Copies of this chain bind each other. A is one copy, B any other.
């Protein structure tokens, strides 16, 4: 049996999305900037994708800039917002649990002397409170970047509150919504969001294509300079098939968001509870309620994450420990450490992320196997207390 529970890392592209992309590869393949029928057809595909994306997040089509993925969107937002506000100041606020596309970029900018950086701590659930943002704001603060939902532990931040705090102070607010988009309702207007990053491959769309929402009136320089595409905000021939795929996937995910939250949420809860019931000495990471409906993240004491993943993989189960980008690295998850977990416990985390294609059968299979796997590894571990061992 093959069970894919690594949907926070990336998702399968759904059939409807592939079907929607194919004509853009082979028939409507013109360059939208050209001046002929092939180009107009491609431009129409772009226009309608832009409208669809705007609709889902409560934006206007003009506010949607298509990019080469979530990381590019984050980089563009951060570098752009800081460059555009040089005269006002150079203080930036972010949180300790951001994705590396935000955290490493801001830290690089700090080293380059471009910004003064405040990294807010989080509580034990990885939540960034609006109060902590408020008290960190300074007169020279130009940008606040707080993620919508955390990729490792699934915790959802009080984005509307943080947005309000920033808007009231006249400070730009960027949110990395790569994990949230398509999974929880987003309204950029009501939430006072100025800049927002989206990535298609997190909701059954293709890899290598994303969105940066830029609120009307916010002007930031381009990260990629050249042709006049995307109203001069992002150069490069538009990835028409990818953009069509992104919009198709987002529309579909959004249409079924509520029902999927229930369906996926129920399976997720079964998995959450099943693990807690069957395996001693585990600790749920992330907020129990303000949490993405598809995320399970446990620290499993006495053993190390990679070993768990390998054992699961041998049995056909795809999972993660820490974020995908840093697996292979030796550091434990910066997110779990920021939440206050001791190193040895942070090393033993297991993330299982579901999708609407996950079945109950798959969850049962995991719940059957996981306890044995954990026990086997614990029996091998010098940290596992003797009394259990007997």
Q: A residues bordering B, Cβ < 8 Å?
A: 2, 4, 6, 9-13, 15, 17-18, 22, 25-26, 29-31, 33-39, 67-72, 74-75, 99-102, 104-105, 108, 199, 201, 206-209, 221, 223-229, 235-242, 306, 309-310, 312-313, 316-321, 323-329
CA distance in complex: A353, B72 (Å):
32
Contact flag A25-B6 (CB < 8 Å), given A105-B225, A309-B35: no
For A310, the chain B residues whose CB sits under 8 A away are 35
Check if B31 sits within 8 Å of A6, measured CB to CB. Answer: yes
Check if A207 sits within 8 Å of B101, measured CB to CB. Answer: no
Check if A37 sits within 8 Å of B318, measured CB to CB. Answer: yes
Check if A208 sits within 8 Å of B68, measured CB to CB. Answer: yes
Check if A236 sits within 8 Å of B9, measured CB to CB. Answer: no
Other-chain residue from B39, B67, B236, B242 in contact with A242 (beta carbon distance below 8 A):
B242
Contact flag A35-B320 (CB < 8 Å), given A11-B29, A100-B227, A225-B104: yes
Check if B309 sits within 8 Å of A36, measured CB to CB. Answer: yes
Q: Name the distance in Å between A246's Cβ and chain B's nearest Cβ.
A: 11
Contact flag A9-B31 (CB < 8 Å), given A39-B318, A208-B242, A226-B100: yes
Other-chain residue from B33, B316, B325 in contact with A227 (beta carbon distance below 8 A):
B325
Check if A72 sits within 8 Å of B38, measured CB to CB. Answer: no
Q: Chain B residue with minimal CB distance to A237?
A: B207
Check if A236 sits within 8 Å of B72, measured CB to CB. Answer: yes
For A31, the chain B residues whose CB sits under 8 A away are 6, 9-10, 324
Check if A206 sits within 8 Å of B239, measured CB to CB. Answer: yes
Q: Name 11 interchain pairs, CB-CB below 8 A, sorted by A.
A: A6-B34, A9-B39, A9-B237, A10-B30, A12-B29, A68-B236, A70-B237, A71-B227, A75-B224, A207-B240, A208-B239
Contact flag A207-B320 (CB < 8 Å), given A35-B313, A325-B33: no
Check if B71 sits within 8 Å of A224, measured CB to CB. Answer: yes
Q: Chain B residue with minimal CB distance to A207?
A: B239
Q: Chain B residue with minimal CB distance to A242?
A: B208
Other-chain residue from B100, B225, B236, B329 in contact with A69 (beta carbon distance below 8 A):
B236
For A102, the chain B residues whose CB sits under 8 A away are 226
For A239, the chain B residues whose CB sits under 8 A away are 68-69, 206-209
